[in-house]
Amino acid sequence: MDFFQSMVMGFQVALQPGNLFFCFIGVLIGTLVGVLPGLGPVAAISLLLPTTFHVTPVSAIIMLAGIYYGAMYGGSTTSILVNIPGEAASVVTCLDGYKMARQGRAGPALGIAAFASFIAGTIGVIGLMLIAPPLAEMALKFGPPEYFSLMIMGLTILTFLASGPMWKALLMAAFGLFLGCVGMDTLMGATRFTFDIIELTDGIGLVPVVMGLFGISEVLLNVEQSMERSIFETKIRNLLPTVKDWADSTWAILRGTIIGFFLGVLPGGGAVISSFVSYAVEKKVSKHPEKFGTGVIQGVAGPESANNAATGGAFIPLLTLGIPANSVMAVLLGAMMIHGMQPGPMLVKEQPGLFWGAITSMYLGNVMLLILNLPLIGLWVKILKVPYPILFPLILLFCLIGAYSLNNSIVEVLIMVIFGLIGYLFKKFEYEAAPLILALVLGPMLETALRRSLLLSAGDPMIFLTRPISAVLMLISFFLLAYPLVPWLRKKRAILPEGETED
């Protein structure tokens, strides 16, 4: 089937009224989630996953994907108007977006954020369409050692890019792997660490863990701080950027799109990192870097393009290799498995309708978001004014219902509450939860790949270094793990000659 036939088939699926409806609901909820500080796309997708059990798998994935890229659009609104990022990928938009709002340019800031998001989101989807099928074809050549090395590389990249000391991120990944081991050992049929709790036989559910770590813990943190929010009162007008705004932003949008897309593809990369990289690049190439942070439009256009393009890129490893690039994709992978789908190289061949339908729905979703966002900014501002003391019980209620209705189990609700407390402590002690989530999802796959590889090589671990693709992936991982030691070694080398002369 050629590219255009595939696209036509994709649009036939995406344009079905039911799928259009779920795409609309997804992007609407995504924008809302992006607007509301304290509820990110990971928690929102987990929260709404049980509501998709009664719809077809393709509608479910279209809706859940819509939440992800919708949140990227919505996140900029709070960054610009309240100086509080709706979600992590919009942190950097605060720097210049809020300053623009204070200078009376909230309209152009919101406008360029929406247009940049649309352009980058659409280009990201085109990239996804072009790259995913050949990559899936190539992935068919992957055996267990290649999969194992790829997953190790994904985890290493994520820990390498995580904020704070690397040992903390590696520790989180190791803990996630352990959590992934709880339950049935699929190769032997024996159970591990279940403590005779029947609900744990299938393992610790991803959804309760995610809702606890990202939803409940966020509420626990927010309620102990001052819950007052001040919205910068300004008339939002001139949402359409001027010709000068466009001239200033065009290259920033293009650069942001390219950076976002390729960082999104990288396992461990994603929207947050790409927005920061884009901002740094814009500052670097600017003739007036000193003006960044005072309200320059490139500081909004670049990062907003990058975080939206990254969403398209992030789908590539998931749909072609079955490996999630970040924690949102990890939840989406869980959702796909619950719906009976196995993302990976065979998905394009076995379920082309779903594959192309989900991708083309993103075009439509991006158009919906552009249409939705500009006229609805007034509504989002009103929602932002809902006091947090009234909002947080509702967020908790959604988490409780979401966790319970997965399997009608109180144990899952309890797991969610426990992980809420754990997530709260993680944040207090500055541990990032993203490597844990990725490792939790990859754990069972990684274990199977590791054991199969060792069976294949009769117990020789060199199999990971003797097969070319696997060796390259492993070398990248070793390099990333060793990289933090470079400054320390340099320091040592610099001190050594000094010591020698002293002697």
Given the rule CB under 8 A, which residues bind other proteins?
Answer: 50-51, 54, 165, 167-168, 170-171, 174-175, 177-178, 181, 185, 188, 190, 192-193, 216, 219-221, 223-225, 227, 389-390, 392-394, 396-397, 400-401, 404-405, 408, 410, 413-414, 417, 420-421, 424, 428-431, 443, 446-447, 450-451, 454-455, 457-461
Cβ closest to other proteins, residue 9 vs residue 401? 401
For residue 308, the one-letter residue type is N
Cβ closest to other proteins, residue 1 vs residue 421? 421
Cβ closest to other proteins, residue 267 vs residue 420? 420
Distances (CA, A) of 191 to 256, 314, 441: 47, 33, 18
Buried residues in 253-270 as b, exposed as e (16+ CB within 10 A): bbbbbbbbbbbbbbbbbb
Distances (CA, A) of 462 to 443, 457, 458: 21, 8, 11
Calpha distance 398→44 (Å, rounded): 9
Shortest approach of other proteins to residue 352 CB, angstroms?
29
Q: How far, rounded to the nearest angstrom, does the alpha carbon of residue 482 sit from its chain's CA centroid? A: 26
For residue 8, the one-letter residue type is V
The helix (H) or strand (E) run that includes residue 324 is none
Tokens of 460: 């020789």
Angle at 373 (CA atoms; ends 368, 374), nearest 5 degrees: 115
Cβ closest to other proteins, residue 417 vs residue 438? 417
Q: What is the DSSP letter of 292?
A: T
Cβ closest to other proteins, residue 191 vs residue 286? 191
Shortest approach of other proteins to residue 429 CB, angstroms?
4
Q: What is the DSSP letter of 191?
A: E
Shortest approach of other proteins to residue 400 CB, angstroms?
6
Cβ closest to other proteins, residue 7 vs residue 400? 400
Shortest approach of other proteins to residue 112 CB, angstroms?
36
Shortest approach of other proteins to residue 160 CB, angstroms?
14
Shortest approach of other proteins to residue 445 CB, angstroms?
11
Calpha distance 480→269 (Å, rounded): 14
Calpha distance 199→436 (Å, rounded): 21
Shortest approach of other proteins to residue 375 CB, angstroms?
26
Contact 128, 320 (CB under 8 A): no
Cβ closest to other proteins, residue 8 vs residue 482? 482
Contact 154, 323 (CB under 8 A): yes
From 256, 4, 16, select the one nearest 129 (Cα to Cα): 4
Cβ closest to other proteins, residue 347 vs residue 433? 433
Calpha distance 330→335 (Å, rounded): 9
Cβ closest to other proteins, residue 4 vs residue 429? 429
User: With 0-12 CB in 10 A as exposed, 13-18 as middle and 19+ as buried, what is 455?
Assistant: exposed
Cβ closest to other proteins, residue 224 vs residue 233? 224
Cβ closest to other proteins, residue 230 vs residue 408? 408
Shortest approach of other proteins to residue 448 CB, angstroms?
10
Tokens of 469: 């693709």
Q: What is the DSSP letter of 53?
A: T
Task: List residues bridging with 183 in a β-sheet.
Answer: 192
From 74, 408, 376, 443, select the one nearest 236 (Cα to Cα): 376
Shortest approach of other proteins to residue 29 CB, angstroms?
13
Contact 258, 124 (CB under 8 A): no
Shortest approach of other proteins to residue 411 CB, angstroms?
9
Shortest approach of other proteins to residue 254 CB, angstroms?
40
User: With 0-12 CB in 10 A as exposed, 13-18 as middle and 19+ as buried, what is 29?
Assistant: buried
Cβ closest to other proteins, residue 199 vs residue 248? 199
The helix (H) or strand (E) run that includes residue 486 is helix 485-502
Cβ closest to other proteins, residue 248 vs residue 447? 447
Shortest approach of other proteins to residue 390 CB, angstroms?
7
From 212, 252, 283, 226, select the one nearest 112 (Cα to Cα): 252
Shortest approach of other proteins to residue 396 CB, angstroms?
7
Calpha distance 314→178 (Å, rounded): 25
